[in-house]
């Protein structure tokens, strides 16, 4: 790895760790409002899924607008696991295994969905991922799953069809989802997950596999003629991306006690929200995704003082930020200002 790349990675980790330390110090000294304390974990898992999506959109170059579907799978798989083992396992190993289960399921579905989806390109791929995201959400919405002394029961109709013994426990109750998942997630674990996913993605980018993936993105015909297995690398990146999204889902389901597969959390609107984080932060810029996710998640919450106008103001701020960051004239102006600034200081 070159020195510059190393420095670049170091800044990214540094930002996350600095943010973590500041928040922890504020929390320990009692200077953090409970509002902000409650925002820390969601902010972090949205940053995690933004990193996951950036791997798919920025590094692999395929527009996915169904990534919340993988988050949904991770959330439900791990919540079912935690509910089942709630009384038999202590919290720490249970939560660790919940991560393993959530990530494994999300990766498996990422792999399976990748097989048909990655045969497509561009807009077609985007539309198909959107459809898969919705399918995942709707199927989970229809599942009834319970466990009793005779083992697991599953139905797609209603709770009566499960035919449960009286001692049974309904785990996924259709649209009512899963309630009473243990709240194992906290800010420290969330930050560790974020750092690990950053580590995975940044190292992948700088590895042989990562360069192959980016070669496929830039010109798949040239890459193929150079002997790169296009399908393999596409699948690799897509599956890793789905797995990281699954990890975000595990944090999600263990931070809130009522988990429902509704469109507010896992629909295409939510997926597009994540895409907004990625685009604002810069496609292919992993650090940018983390910063953009944090800012954009905090913004509507910080605007609560504006009451009913806050969603309107939020949209306007979003437009302004997008223009300031990415309009060519704005970039030029920023460069001029930065140039002057450096000169004066030199």
Partner 1 sequence: MKKMKSVISLLAASALLAGTIAGCGGNAGGNTASTGESTATESSASGATFKIGSIGPLTGGAAAYGLAVVNSVELAVNEINANGGINGYQVEMKGEDDELNAEKSVNAYNTLKDWGMQFLVGSTTSACSLAVSENTHEDNMFQLTPSASAADCVAYDNVFRVCFSDPNQGLASAQYIGSHKLASKVAIIYDSSDVYSSGIYQTFAQEAVNQGFDVVSAEAFTADSKTDFSVQLQKAKDAGAELLFLPIYYTEASLILTQANTMGYAPIFFGVDGMDGILTVENFDTSLAEGLMLLTPFAADATDDLTVNYVKNYKEKYGETPNQFGADAYDAVYIIKQCLEEAGATPDMSVSDLCEAVKGKIVTITASGLTSDTMTWDASGEPNKEPKAVVIKDGAYVTAE
Chain residues binding partner 1 by CB under 8 A are: 4, 11, 15, 18-19, 22-23, 26, 31-39, 42, 134, 138, 141-142, 158-160, 174-177, 179-180, 183, 255-258, 260, 262-265, 287, 291, 294-295, 298, 301-302, 304-305, 307-308, 310-311, 334-335, 338-339, 341-342
Q: Which residue number, 159 or 215, has a Cβ lying nearer to partner 1? A: 159
CA distance 23 to 31: 9
Q: Which residue number, 22 or 222, has a Cβ lying nearer to partner 1? A: 22
Shortest Å distance, C-beta 220 to partner 1 = 29
CA distance 269 to 275: 10
> Which residue, among 15, 68, 56, has the nearest Cα to 273 in the 3D structure?
68
Shortest Å distance, C-beta 232 to partner 1 = 33
SS3 154: strand
Shortest Å distance, C-beta 216 to partner 1 = 26
Shortest Å distance, C-beta 231 to partner 1 = 33
Shortest Å distance, C-beta 31 to partner 1 = 7
Q: Which residue number, 69 or 174, has a Cβ lying nearer to partner 1? A: 174
Shortest Å distance, C-beta 55 to partner 1 = 20
**Contact (Cβ atoms closer than 8 angstroms) between residue 56 and residue 237:** yes
Task: Determine the straight-line distance between the first and last CA of the chain, rounded to whole angstroms.
Answer: 30
Q: Which residue number, 121 or 183, has a Cβ lying nearer to partner 1? A: 183
Shortest Å distance, C-beta 99 to partner 1 = 20
DSSP state for residue 309 in the 8-state scheme:
G
> Which residue, among 110, 116, 84, has the nearest Cα to 97 in the 3D structure?
84
Cα dihedral 103, 216, 130, 247 in deg (nearest 10): 20
CA distance 79 to 95: 10
**Contact (Cβ atoms closer than 8 angstroms) between residue 201 and residue 54:** yes
- Whole-Å CA distances, 112 to 47, 109, 283: 25, 5, 25
Shortest Å distance, C-beta 176 to partner 1 = 5
Q: Which residue number, 46 or 81, has a Cβ lying nearer to partner 1? A: 46
26 membership: H or E segment, kind and range: helix 3-28
Q: Which residue number, 97 or 303, has a Cβ lying nearer to partner 1? A: 303
Q: Which residue number, 188 or 258, has a Cβ lying nearer to partner 1? A: 258
Q: How far is CA 8 from the centre of its chain?
A: 22
169-173/151-155 β-pairing: unpaired
**Helices 122-142 & 91-117, crossing angle to 10 degrees?**
130
Radius of gyration for the chain, computed over Cα atoms and rounded to the nearest angstrom: 21
Q: Which residue number, 211 or 310, has a Cβ lying nearer to partner 1? A: 310
Q: Which residue number, 32 or 104, has a Cβ lying nearer to partner 1? A: 32
Shortest Å distance, C-beta 51 to partner 1 = 16
For residue 313, is it left (φ>0), alpha (ψ between -120 and 50) or beta?
alpha
């Amino acid at each position: 790895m070159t020195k510059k790349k190393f420095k670049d990675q170091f800044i990214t980790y540094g930002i996350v760790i600095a943010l973590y330390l500041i928040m922890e110090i504020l929390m320990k000294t009692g200077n953090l409002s409970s509002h902000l304390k409650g925002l820390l974990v969601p902010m972090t898992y949205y940053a995690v899924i933004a990193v996951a999506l950036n791997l798919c959109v920025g590094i692999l170059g395929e527009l996915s607008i169904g990534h919340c579907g993988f988050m949904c799978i991770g959330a439900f798989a791990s919540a079912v696991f935690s509910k089942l083992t709630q009384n038999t396992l202590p919290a720490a190993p249970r939560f660790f295994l919940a991560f393993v289960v959530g990530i494994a399921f999300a990766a498996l579905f990422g792999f399976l969905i990748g097989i048909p989806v990655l045969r497509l390109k561009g807009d077609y791929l985007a539309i198909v991922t959107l459809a898969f995201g919705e399918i995942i959400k709707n199927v989970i919405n229809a599942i009834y799953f319970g466990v009793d002394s005779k083992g697991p029961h599953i139905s797609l109709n209603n709770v009566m069809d499960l035919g449960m013994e009286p001692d049974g426990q309904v785990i996924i109750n259709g649209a009512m989802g899963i309630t009473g998942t243990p709240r194992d997630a906290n800010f420290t674990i969330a930050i560790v997950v974020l750092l690990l996913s950053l580590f995975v993605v940044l190292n992948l980018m700088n590895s042989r596999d990562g360069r192959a993936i980016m070669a496929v993105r830039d010109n798949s015909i040239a890459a193929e003629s150079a002997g790169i297995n296009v399908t393999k690398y596409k699948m690799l990146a897509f599956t890793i991306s789905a797995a990281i999204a699954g990890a975000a889902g595990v944090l999600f389901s263990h931070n809130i006690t009522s988990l429902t597969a509704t469109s507010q959390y896992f629909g295409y609107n939510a997926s597009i929200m994540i895409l907004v984080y990625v685009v604002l932060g810069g496609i292919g810029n992993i650090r940018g995704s983390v910063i953009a996710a944090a800012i954009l998640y905090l913004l509507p919450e910080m605007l609560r003082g504006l009451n009913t106008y806050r969603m309107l103001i939020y949209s306007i701020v979003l437009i302004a930020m997008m223009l300031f960051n990415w309009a060519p004239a704005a970039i030029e102006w920023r460069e001029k200002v930065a140039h002057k600034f450096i000169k004066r200081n030199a």
